[in-house]
Amino acid sequence: MKDLEVRALFGRCRHHVDPVAYQQEILSAVVDVTDQVKRPERGYVIAADGSNYEASVSDGFPSARMGLLKIGQVWIDTKAYHKIDPRSGGDPDPIVIAKLEKEKNTYSVPLTGAGIYLDNEGPRESFRRSTFEAFRSSRFELLDEGLDKTLVDLLEISGETRLKDGKRHVVVPSNRRCPITGELLGVDVFIPEDIGFAVSPRAGNRPLFLTDVLRLSEAFAEEGSNQQAYTRAMNVLEHLILAHTIMRLDASEHTRAILDGAVFLVDGPLGIFGEPARLHRPIMRMLHGVRERSVGTPPLIMGVTKSGRVVDHGKLIQPMLLEHFPKGRTLLLPMSDPYRYRYVDLGAKDADSNFGNDTHYGQAFLVRSANDRIFELNLAYPFPVKATGFQDRKVELSYYQDDIGRAIGVLELFETELYADANIVQHLAHRCASISHRPAGRTLDMFVRSIIGI
């Protein structure tokens, strides 16, 4: 406080924050949706979450590591939940609670890392092969179909498949780079769905895998940590498992009934990031088609984010909201691009650019719940494609019909005081998927070392 240079610098600084100047504009964007909130009475709520851990085989140089991914998916029967929810007049029966908690799927996915040789192949090729084998694994089978089938189905929606000799092939265009050599392929490569790989024209007899279209190996490091590659893999797996579940249930009339009134809840935004991001477009088109075909109440696809810039912004304006809207009211603030660029993501951005154009298949809304909690709600876009005028249409509430009231109703039904801004189904999915660094992480280190050796 006595340092002259510190005082001199502070003396030169000015701030231009005038809350009153922005207050009216912010408040005019807020919508009171209390009367639209509708808690679900039936149907399934399916929540998913994921985590990853990089186990060290060797602590020295060069690196030797393995990636371990875990995806958790929980299924809650809303009708059964009401029977144990005191707010719904139910009794918290421990036996029923235990039964509800057992309705879950856990997917454990091993991926090789730096310094690991799978079947005598180099580390990068080993990572590519372990990714391919994970997608072909029976662990993901649902109604006799694997995750690789869902990936090809999504690529077909994108127009990236061809029929040859009566079989479906994935087309890798000539202007893509070979993941083995980094050179342009030069010719289109056709990967048969049943085999899952084809020979690369740039790498002798070495294979191009079906899963190379995800480009996950581009983030792979031959030495050191591959946390970025594992995070990318986990992100795309979370959303592909969501798509896998919906597409397999939608495949026949018998199972399509399960989607009636179902809610799919993702932890985080409805978006795919990094190299596999382009898959968000076929997922967006697929979800729209499923909802259009649905009989009864269409499935609701939503994401909930409990931290980040939107939530931080919500907490900053929370006193303002409390001052102008009575407690106990549910408020919604559509996160339009002009609003986001002006108040949330400040910086050198083109106001005409569509936020999330290359990553998101859902729109963000800032919500203040009736209990004064702040969270970011994402709802699947009610459109098959991002056409002209999309930037304005995506925040037009009329297009979402009952989805906003249903989504907030789900969160209020499963609200819990145990965790700040969390809900029970998200917590169960997180508990199902989380890998703690201690003691679980240390145990995994010892586990992979005991099997792989050095």
272 and 134 in a common domain: yes
On whether residue 248 sits in a domain, the answer given is yes
Indicate the number of domains in the chain. 2
- For 267-309, write each residue's pLDDT tens digit: 899 999 999 999 999 999 999 999 999 888 999 999 998 889 9
Phi, psi of 30, deg, nearest 5: -85, 135
Give the pLDDT mean for 203-224: 92
281 and 229 in a common domain: yes
Phi, psi of 158, deg, nearest 5: -80, -5
Q: Note the pTM of the prediction, 2 decimals.
A: 0.88
- For 87-96, write each residue's pLDDT tens digit: 666 766 666 6
Which of 79-93, 194-208, 277-291, 429-443 holds the top average pLDDT? Answer: 277-291
Residues forming a β-bridge with 164: 167
Asked whether the predicted pLDDT for residue 173 surpasses 90, the reply is yes
288 and 165 in a common domain: yes
At 167, is the secondary structure helix, strand, or coil?
strand
Give the pLDDT mean for 229-235: 94
223 and 111 in a common domain: yes
On whether residue 18 sits in a domain, the answer given is no
Calpha distance 103→390 (Å, rounded): 38
255 and 321 in a common domain: no
Strands 362-368 and 197-199: unpaired
250 and 349 in a common domain: no
Residue for token digits 């092939």? Answer: 169
Give the pLDDT mean for 425-434: 58
On whether residue 5 sits in a domain, the answer given is no
> Where residue 441 falls among pLDDT bands split at 50, 70, 90?
low
Give the pLDDT mean for 312-321: 93
Calpha distance 211→232 (Å, rounded): 13
Taking only Cα atoms into account, the Rg of the chain, rounded to an integer number of angstroms, comes to 24
442 and 331 in a common domain: no
Calpha distance 377→81 (Å, rounded): 22
Report residue 135 as tokens: 């997608």
Phi, psi of 209, deg, nearest 5: -90, 155
On whether residue 230 sits in a domain, the answer given is yes
For residue 360, the model assigns a pLDDT of 97
**250: containing domain:** 44-298+432-452
Residue for token digits 């397999």? Answer: 248
Mean model confidence pLDDT for the chain: 87
For residue 111, the model assigns a pLDDT of 94
- For 347-377, write each residue's pLDDT tens digit: 756 777 899 999 999 999 999 998 888 999 9
For residue 419, the model assigns a pLDDT of 46
On whether residue 355 sits in a domain, the answer given is yes
94 and 192 in a common domain: yes
337 and 236 in a common domain: no
